[in-house]
Amino acid sequence: AQTVTQSQPEMSVQEAETVTLSCTYDTSESDYYLFWYKQPPSRQMILVIRQEAYKQQNATENRFSVNFQKAAKSFSLKISDSQLGDAAMYFCAYRSPPAGGSEKLVFGKGTKLTVNP
């Protein structure tokens, strides 16, 4: 079974600085999908960024980018120019390919990010 590990339960960053959240996963599949979701105290899970494993190029979304290392099974999230609104719980998630797979998202335990003014 696939597993997702987020080794940093909590992280903090100064406003305007850069922070990297780590995520590793374990899978025997070659094609899969990875996601970072953000859950602020308001509790709604918001998609931050996603990566298809077959794509070598790292995904970026404005201030958010990933460092996807397929061989190392690593999928870290970099937040540049951190803002107070970035404070939230961040979940890394894995999803199997559709063929023989399922709709299940496998989540890591989350990293709580604090942004200090």
Partner 1 sequence: DTEVTQTPKHLVMGMTNKKSLKCEQHMGHRAMYWYKQKAKKPPELMFVYSYEKLSINESVPSRFSPECPNSSLLNLHLHALQPEDSALYLCASSRLAGSGTDTQYFGPGTRLTVL
Q: Is 91 in the site for partner 1 (CB under 8 A)?
A: yes
Q: What is the nearest approach in angstroms of partner 1 to the Cβ of residue 11? A: 15
Q: Which of 109, 94, 75 is nearest to 34 (CA)?
A: 94
Nearer to partner 1, 102 or 116 (CB): 102
How far is 8 from 10, CA to CA, in rounded Å?
5
Q: Is 11 in the site for partner 1 (CB under 8 A)?
A: no
Q: At 40, give phi and psi (nearest 5°).
A: -70, 175
How far is 87 from 66, CA to CA, in rounded Å?
18
How many alpha carbons fall within 13 Å on the CB side of residue 40?
A: 10
Among 36, 37, 68, 75, binds partner 1 (CB under 8 A): 37
Asked whether the beta carbons of 9 and 111 are under 8 A apart, the reply is yes
Q: What is the nearest approach in angstroms of partner 1 to the Cβ of residue 12? A: 17
Q: Is 90 in the site for partner 1 (CB under 8 A)?
A: no
Site for partner 1 in 47-86 (CB under 8 A): 47, 50, 52
Which positions lie near partner 1, rule CB under 8 A?
Answer: 31-33, 35, 37, 42-47, 50, 52, 89, 91, 95-98, 101-105, 107-110
